[in-house]
Structure 1
Amino acid sequence: MFREIFGNLFHSITFSPSWRTSTAVALALQMYESRDFGAMPILADALQHAGCDSADVLDHCRGPGPHVRGCWVVDLVLGKE
């Protein structure tokens, strides 16, 4: 659960603002508000389509979870710090 919210504290992640497409933001917002994170693999596809090549980000989205509100990838997409 700790890594779900904070990610890997020993490896910094660079998140490009160009990955914040309308599709990625809409998916992240829907998951954040509904607390249903079943679309995480779809978010990975949207981020990859936007040019994301971060294995940490994509693997986290495609991983089994559990994913919860406060997920570091969803928060990055939504611009939450």
Structure 2
Amino acid sequence: MRKVGGNDEAVAQTWLTRDIFGNPFRPVTFSPSWRTSTAVALASQMYESRDFGAMPILADALQDAGCDSADVLDHCRGPGPHVRGCWVVDLVLGKR
């Protein structure tokens, strides 16, 4: 977790909230064509195992599928934390 100032728990909660909900002021349009078998397999494995270490690989798979959304790709390649309920993983799996 990132530490800023004296309120580490509040900062951690903010990062988790962003991972789950994304940025409500910048909604992302997710194209169904980005749901390739590779992207879905990666997202499914991360969702089930709760190990999100493959998020940068998911970004590559989405980009290979034609994803050009900086918000999606940057989120996947960002430091996290990533948890079950991550908005990008949920979009790939069709949960949103």
**Normalised by the shorter chain, which TM-score bucket?**
over 0.9
Letter in 2 for 1:4: D
State the partner residue of 1:31.
46
Identity %: 88
State the partner residue of 1:52.
67
Letter in 2 for 1:16: S
Q: Does 1:70 align with 2:81?
A: no
RMSD: 0.3
Higher gyration radius (CA): 2
Unaligned runs of 5+ in 1: none
Q: Does 1:40 align with 2:58?
A: no
TM-score, normalization: structure 1?
A: 0.99
Runs of 4+ displaced beyond 3 Å: none
Instruction: Considering Cα pairs closer than 8 Å and 6+ residues apart, tell me whether 1 or 2 has the greater RCO.
Output: 1
Unaligned runs of 5+ in 2: 1-15
Q: Does 1:19 align with 2:34?
A: yes
Distance 1:25 1:64 in 2: 21
Aligned residues: 81
